[in-house]
A and B are shown apart, each in its own frame.
Chain A
């Protein structure tokens, strides 16, 4: 059976205020991305009432609304991460298409994020219901155990106040929530471990034909690095998309994949069909997005979902530093900028608006935290792309964006000297690097005057051999990379926009440079012609030890409200609770003190499960009259608890 609900429990502004005035809300969550959705689900399934403020409109929860996104994407000449999502001046979002080369000392204000440099960061996030999972790639890796202690082990970046072992049970919960497809026997490397007899909810997705070609060529390649030998193996990635459910999951009860979201019955969203445009949007909803979790929360009947409500100020009670209320601007239409300023209160406040927006909101509220670290330590994965032409057709464009890669440079002694990296083998050819296949067609038509059948054949020939390695390089915490605000830069509702200061350290650059070296060896072994080139005119250009490079942002914003052991060295504690404000939680990748070489979503989701457990524990000590009704029990069953 597919998911279907008759109402979305959307409430009006007036209802939200009335319930707030009656102190009915146990928690107010800002943001409906994966973090907010997990917190909403966990809290409501235990009977607590939640107000969820979302900056975007909510038609996203209907099947037709989602199809419009898919249609927007197909029609949009730009195929960037936010191409499916309509412009909304009241809750604008960054787009990579707004990024250009910076002039030193001049703020670039074209996009929503003001770029102060010295390097321009082209990363994005999505401000719609479901958040950035609406455009994520759904590669979903655990961090390595050593990633949690890079300061004490390698002398760089920051340590976590918790270890891999502490997070392991929450990784399990996150993998269930997202419905991860992977095989344990392929994923347990470089210290990654699992509970005994653990299986992922679904079997791993198969490697693409291209992966197999690359594997044949480079498996076994050895690299000597700071006295250690790194031996290359092509491995598949865990994926947040529907594959074959593992019948051994949950002690033999199996796993039920979640399909498309709809307010009426649809039969879509089952198994991944290998569409190559899963970034930005999976046309069949086989890819997980946070609306699936949000729907589970809504089924409890305990979520009051208020869309078109942009949080604008966190207001603190000066007596005890607790949060008194949240101010927000409620607009009636994306066409107009008129809004109603309102405020709501709850027992707990959870900011779940992503690393940039969480810090932006706190700074705009005049709350830099007692450590002064709010907005600082901004991290992202930096990508170096390397592209070449294989000597044979390798089926490029078949399968999802990326199915396999190399994990053998993610660990080890070299981390004290240069950034480690993971490697993705891209199934979409040179798309990210050159704008292929669109640019290929331009070249074939404009420069080679090809048309008709000849053009069609040339396109196939040109693309089938394309190979792109994307090197995802770790970036460690650095206080000078940061988000700030300035009253000079505001959006249409008068909210201050995020200003980004961003640069690459020599540690990062050394990692990028070494990753480029490995690409040369790989191309050599594969007999591929290397077409990589990094122009000084590119916005991500830098020179390192005489060589040209560029970097691309990884859309993995993190670190802006890092967790730590004291109020002096961090913004939040190990439960993502603000050191300064006892009833405030800042959740998501902003809390991560390091990001290693793993895409951030799984780890931030695991952290949110840990936080929800803590909040529930706290609430159970305080609350006496918890709503518990049949809806709740139904939801609990539906949520496979």
Chain B
């Protein structure tokens, strides 16, 4: 019998914080792949990537709502909140690299790997439930992958990570209830509601107690991995893995289909109508004084300011989400400037957003927000 991962409320805060970071980590790769597709081509691929992308945003919101319900808030401005790409994610006992890259057959394989349903493992040889011992533990950058500051253990899969959170909530709330208390002491006004958040991949669950917290987590797991290889969840929605698999197979799933055998309308994915974005670009790749470098810095400043807006939204200012929609259009425009233009040093490869955040200067950050508001 292995030990519980979450044993204190601090453990739970840390895990939910990690969940928000983890859910966000897929956004830069999905966003770049989506924007690399040439306008008006590949409508099927665009629609699928976009659908998954907005559901990841929903997952961030759900995880943040759970954290807020406990009286804590997520921190989108924290150092290392945005990982450096490529970054490692666990895949059972091994791991794989997630890159910022153009849409391609390889990227699609990575996306499938990110969203792959967890394989059931009868008995993990681990001190902690759902965890495995990894010899290369140090390569993982995301907090979600290596809990409790353990130097050797990491979760077997994302599903196991969420399972640990669920177990922690059950345990801690039970402990609190026995003392006539509750862990759900957060102010309900911090809950982001459907008023400000709908049509973003499903309905937000506002979290006030254990039941709603578990419902919120359930939705994240169902939309992401699907349950026990079901392609549709209870609401009749396709899980991410099977959404992406449609692109691999060139055919849509429809109600009644079994896994790996879609029978809906067929279509073709066109990997050629894609801008040749440089894989894992860095600002340093663009020559000083080049327009690409300026655009890359501008994108990063805007992205950082965007995260600040989201941060305020999850700290009682949810009406800021409406303005954040305009912010997303601005990011798209900034990303397009990079994605559509070749590197001066290699005309066969185009620029791309680097998602490198600056935490070294508070002054710069203040400036970036100002730019954001007046841009």
Contact = CB atoms under 8 A, between A and B. Distances in A.
Interface of A: 1-2, 4, 6, 62-64, 67, 70-71, 74-75, 242, 244-245, 247, 257, 259, 263-271, 273
Contact of B198 (A6, A245, A264): A245
B347 interface: no
Nearest to B246: A264
Contacts of B325: 271, 273
A62 B254 CA distance: 13
A267 B195 contact: no
Contacts of A75: 40
A269 B199 contact: yes
B296 interface: no
Nearest to B193: A247
Interface string B18-47: 000000000000000000000010011001
Given A265-B243, A267-B54, A271-B199, 6 more contacts: A6-B255, A264-B265, A265-B253, A268-B50, A270-B200, A271-B198
Interface string B251-263: 0111110000000
B258 to A, nearest CB: 14
Nearest to B195: A244
A1 B201 CA distance: 8
B254 A264 contact: yes
B123 interface: no
B225 interface: no
Contact of B55 (A266, A267, A268): A267
Interface of B: 40, 43-44, 47, 50-51, 54-55, 194-196, 198-202, 235-238, 243, 246, 252-256, 264-265, 267, 325, 329
Contacts of B243: 265
B265 A257 contact: no
Nearest to B47: A266
Contacts of A244: 195-196
B349 to A, nearest CB: 25
Nearest to B328: A273
Contact of A264 (B55, B196, B256, B264): B264
B291 to A, nearest CB: 11
Contacts of A270: 198-200
A265 B44 CA distance: 11
Contact of B51 (A267, A271, A273): A267
30 contacts: A1-B202, A1-B235, A1-B236, A4-B236, A6-B254, A6-B256, A62-B265, A63-B47, A64-B44, A71-B40, A244-B195, A245-B195, A245-B198, A247-B195, A263-B254, A263-B264, A263-B265, A264-B254, A264-B265, A265-B51, A265-B252, A266-B47, A266-B51, A267-B47, A267-B51, A267-B201, A268-B50, A270-B199, A271-B198, A271-B325
Nearest to A71: B40
Contacts of A4: 236, 254-255
A149 B211 CA distance: 57
A210 to B, nearest CB: 16
A181 to B, nearest CB: 13
B294 to A, nearest CB: 14
B194 A245 contact: yes
Query: Chain A contact residues: over half helix, strand or loop, or mixed?
Result: loop
A264 B252 contact: yes
A563 to B, nearest CB: 39
Most A CB within 10 A of own CB, among B44, B47, B54, B200: B47
Contacts of A245: 194-195, 198
Contacts of B264: 6, 263-264
B198 A257 contact: yes
Contacts of B267: 64
A277 to B, nearest CB: 14
Contact of B237 (A6, A64, A265): A265
A4 B199 CA distance: 15
Contact of A74 (B40, B198, B237, B238): B40
A2 B47 CA distance: 13
Interface of B is mostly: loop
A257 B195 CA distance: 12
A74 B38 CA distance: 14
Q: Which of B51, B54, B252 has the most CB of A within 10 A?
A: B252
A75 B198 CA distance: 31
Contact of A267 (B40, B50, B236): B50
Residue of B198, B238, B267 most packed against chain A (CB within 10 A): B198
A578 B267 CA distance: 47
Contacts of A1: 202, 235-237
The 4 closest A-B pairs by CB, nearest first: A270-B199, A267-B51, A264-B252, A6-B254
Nearest to B194: A245
A283 to B, nearest CB: 10
Contacts of B236: 1, 4
A336 to B, nearest CB: 24
Contacts of B50: 267-268
A271 B243 CA distance: 22
Contacts of A269: 199
Contacts of A2: 237
A63 B43 CA distance: 9
Nearest to A242: B199
Contacts of A62: 265
A242 B325 CA distance: 15
A575 to B, nearest CB: 37
B238 A265 contact: yes
B296 to A, nearest CB: 19
A67 B198 contact: no
Contacts of A70: 40
Nearest to A254: B194
Nearest to B237: A1
Nearest to B46: A67
Nearest to B201: A267
A271 B200 CA distance: 9
Contacts of B54: 267
A70 B39 CA distance: 11
Contacts of B237: 1-2, 265
Contacts of B198: 245, 257, 270-271
Nearest to A263: B265
A271 B201 CA distance: 12
Contact of B43 (A67, A74, A257, A259): A67
B125 to A, nearest CB: 39
Contacts of A64: 43-44, 265, 267
Contacts of B252: 263-265
B318 to A, nearest CB: 12
Nearest to B52: A267
A609 B200 CA distance: 32
A625 B118 CA distance: 51
B195 A268 contact: no
A531 to B, nearest CB: 30
Contacts of B256: 6
Contacts of B202: 1
A266 B202 CA distance: 11
Contacts of A271: 198-199, 325
A269 B199 CA distance: 7
Nearest to A271: B199
Contact of B199 (A6, A71, A74, A259): A259
Nearest to A74: B40
Given A1-B237, A6-B264, A257 B199 contact: yes
B39 to A, nearest CB: 8
A295 to B, nearest CB: 15
A444 to B, nearest CB: 22
Nearest to A66: B43
Nearest to B262: A264
A256 B199 CA distance: 10
Contacts of A74: 40
B253 A264 contact: yes
A585 B237 CA distance: 40
A247 to B, nearest CB: 7
B189 to A, nearest CB: 15
Contacts of A71: 40
A64 to B, nearest CB: 6
